[in-house]
Chain A
Amino acid sequence: MFSEMLIKLWESGKLQLGIWETIYMTLLATLFAYLLGLPLGVLLAVTDEGGIHPMRVLNKVLGFVVNIFRSMPFIILMVAMLPVAKLVVGTSLGNSAMIVTLVIAATPYVARMVESSIKEVDAGVIEAAQSMGTSNFGIICKVLIPEAKPALITGAVISVVTILGYSAMAGTVGGGGLGMLAITYGHQRSNPDIIWVAVILTILIVQIIQEIGMRIAFKTDKRSKN
């Protein structure tokens, strides 16, 4: 029923390694993308016209840069960013290099996600905090981020899934993971069952992340308490 190649991949542990690589690349890239994207997204939200500290020029410049990265197809961005990866991790091959390109691609995406979540915070609540003498920095830390938390978590789940999708393309330029298995052993060596197994495993991982993420989002949202 299964091709010899699939059984060989399983027995040699390459399949298991592929699953692990996919998860590890995705999570690590998400983590770094948030370390950069969260402050960037907050900055985009607060410096916008209706934000707590409008700064027109900075907002436009940041918005423009973010849009450039957002509009580039990932597969092109990935190739274009390989030199940057080499600069950061010393190589343009392998998982570490792929994580760098994933972070570069995902950060602008995460920033927009964060921006829209922050902008959903009720203006009245911000005004109330201001009326109590909260500084702008205090509003970011104690009002905007905590109040937007459920939306931020939902956004993070969507980001993780998107980054997982990106990571599958890493296989085409020397990264590992399920994408690489599907391309190298499945597509190039004509073993359609390997492609299917990779697809099904990816779907499973997405489902698990989605389910866990949404549960966390729902649990943390105090508005859903009744």
Chain B
Amino acid sequence: MIELQHLTKTYKTRTGEVHAIEDINLTIEDGDIFGIIGLSGAGKSTLIRCINFLEVPTSGKVLLDGVDLGALTYKELLNTRRSMSMIFQGFNLLSQRNVLKNVTYPLEIAKVPREEAIARARELLAIVGLSDKEKAYPSQLSGGQKQRVAIARALATNPRVLLCDEATSALDPTTTQSILDLLKHINKTMGVTIIVITHEMKVIDSICDKVAVLDKSHIVECGRVRDVFTAPKSDIARELILPMARTLPDAIEGTKLRLVFDGEDARQPFIAGLIMECGIPVNILFADTRESDGAVYGQMLIQLPDNEDTLARVRAYLDAKGITYRKEV
């Protein structure tokens, strides 16, 4: 379990003090995939770097299983970092080492015997699907492949936590999805707690269990992804979650409902069912849904005729199907 208590990082600049993050309180349970979302400049990068003390917080505490990282000696901190790996937007592979040597790097640092390190690296490269690339150099790989190597490298020391700093922001959508799938797989099979920093709602939506919304150095909202997505309380969360909502013309008549799909059966025709069972016209204003393993994820904004009776029937239908929804104004 990771606990952040009153975490604050202040930078001194010529023009005065800048609070990159201020009074951050979070608890991240073991095995969670925890997302932290915010716009650029919100303090995300500083926050994730404070978790492994790449940035030393100005005040506040980081507790890993109750151990205060700030109270550790330099050596103990270096050891602790081996159980808290990190991957980056820019991959940050060692350009002069081949793929295999990149993955064995953290093991060298941890003084693992060479043979053992190579065996472990090969095992990890198989997991990330790059067994055939072990002799290649980073310059010969695509972005997605580089991030796979980085993931293998991060997992080499059997960390309990994986910190992802905008790990998919430099990748195209298809590659992003495959990397996210890999992260989810790692979380499930190895039980690694994953903390994801991103500005993309999609990333949170695809893999996270819980989300914290960071805005202007503060956490403005935090909870289960489903809850935050169905009922965002802050403006910034609304903006991030439903970018379209801002651009929808106010003049749209009728009742607007936001449906959130969180792993429902993709083979069921929800909208057709809604139209037929309730006998009403439904207009889809916005949709961003995705299918994964026969389940549907994402959200949809629909427009219904404006009367209470219709709404009651629609609500009954959605409740029966177990779809989360929220009335939009």
Contact = CB atoms under 8 A, between A and B. Distances in A.
A223 B137 contact: yes
Interface in A177-226: 220-226
Interface string B70-88: 0000100111111011101
* Secondary structure class of chain B's binding surface, majority of residues: mixed
B37 to A, nearest CB: 21
Interface in A39-95: none
A149 B85 CA distance: 26
* Secondary structure class of chain A's binding surface, majority of residues: helix
Contacts of B74: 135
Contacts of B138: 222-223
A134 B94 CA distance: 13
Contact of B81 (A131, A146, A223, A224): A131
A124 interface: yes
B92 A125 contact: yes
B137 A132 contact: no
A130 B88 CA distance: 13
A147 B96 contact: yes
Contact of A122 (B92, B98, B109): B92
B90 interface: yes
A127 B54 contact: yes
A138 interface: yes
Nearest to B81: A133
Given A226-B139, A226-B140, A133 B96 contact: no
Contact of A146 (B52, B94, B98): B94
Contacts of B84: 131
Contact of B96 (A127, A128, A131, A149): A149
The residue in A122, A133, A138, A222 that gathers the most chain B C-beta atoms within 10 A of its C-beta is A133
Contacts of B150: 128
A134 B139 contact: no
A134 B137 contact: no
B109 A132 contact: yes
A143 interface: yes
B139 A225 contact: yes
B94 A138 contact: no
Given A125-B92, A143-B94, A132 B139 contact: no
Nearest to A126: B92
Interface of A: 122, 124-125, 127-135, 138, 142-143, 146-147, 149-150, 220-226
